[in-house]
Amino acid sequence: MMHTTPLTNRFGVDVHDIDLSVIDAAGYAALRALFEDHSALLFRKQTLDDAAHIRLARFFGPIEDRLADERAEDEDFTVPQVSNVRADGTTTGDMDLHTLNLKSNMLWHADSTFLPVPALTNILMARVVTQTGGHTELASSRAGWADMPETLKAQVRDTGFWHRYAHSRARISPDLAKLPMFHKWPDQLWRAVWRNPVNGAEALYIASHAYAVAGMDPEKGAALIDELTAFVTQPDYVYSHKWQVGDVLIWDQRAVLHRGTAWNHKEPRVLSSICVSATPDDGVDAMRLIV
């Protein structure tokens, strides 16, 4: 029987005695209930190949495919990798645009807030891990929002943030931000608070991609975004995951921010990553702010 132990005293559970490669609808329903309640799920010693990874992701909803427009009709979806390993087995150089893009992942964010449909979850699976560093950190923006002083909450409760992919890249490198892949989608406006439709819990919905607060002076908005992000990523709300091969981490992007941490880029690091898009049942329609 599946049982759980807490990852931190504010959010997240380590789920034991479950093989994700053979999960069925009843097993998914149990996981989904944990996902709604705890926001982050860790599973160790898993053996998901790409097909099983895709199968698991489909239970959560439609698989996100950012390359759909670049793929030929007869080409299948392939599982994206967060990797610093080139096709020839060498690792990418320190200042390569590819490495700089990985560095952008070290800014606190939720995935795909710059897409017309943002991500509900990311299912990350460790393939090659580092000796030191290269952790993935999660911060509960549900716990952080619950503790936030009302004066701070009131400044964004009824408004939203403008999100742009190139914004998070520009914070690392102006050259990186120029790549066409960061300019495929128009800016997106999402409400600042995502209310979970199942349990009513509210969370701050913010990301490194957020560059402005709707209806606020741009500089004031940018400073407020920094202040809010800093609040919900205080150590009390953070779980830092040191990867082992076979670990699977699944989190609720509506209630959790994440970031990678630095490692020696000469060390290979490969995570398989499937994002699932949020659907109306997940509350995405209510997140659209009309201005």
Determine the size of the site formed for ligand OGA (CB under 6 A).
10
Among residues 123, 206, 271, 287, the one that binds ligand OGA under rule CB under 6 A: 271
Minimal distance, residue 207 CB to Mn ion, in Å: 9
Determine the size of the site formed for Mn ion (CB under 5 A).
1
192 touches 160 (CB < 8 A): yes
Among residues 100, 115, 120, 124, the one that binds ligand OGA under rule CB under 6 A: 124
- What is the identity of the amino acid at 237? Y
Report helix, strand or coil for 239. Answer: strand
Gyration radius (Cα) of the chain, Å: 18
Residue 122 binds ligand OGA, judged by CB under 6 A: yes
Which sign does the torsion angle of CA 109, 111, 116, 121 carry? negative
C-alpha 247: how far from chain center: 16
Residue 105 binds ligand OGA, judged by CB under 6 A: yes
Q: Which does 124 bind (CB under 5 to 8 A by kind): ligand OGA, Mn ion, none?
A: ligand OGA
| Segment (H or E) for 260 | strand 256-260
Residue 258 binds ligand OGA, judged by CB under 6 A: yes
**Burial letters 191-217, b for 16+ CB under 10 A, else e:** bbbbebeeeebbbbbbbbbbbbbbebe
Binding piece for Mn ion, criterion CB under 5 A, among 105-113, 175-183, 215-223, 262-270: 105-113
Among residues 64, 100, 111, 124, the one that binds Mn ion under rule CB under 5 A: 111
Positions in the binding site for Mn ion (CB under 5 A): 111
Positions in the binding site for ligand OGA (CB under 6 A): 82, 105, 111, 122, 124, 136, 258, 260, 271, 273
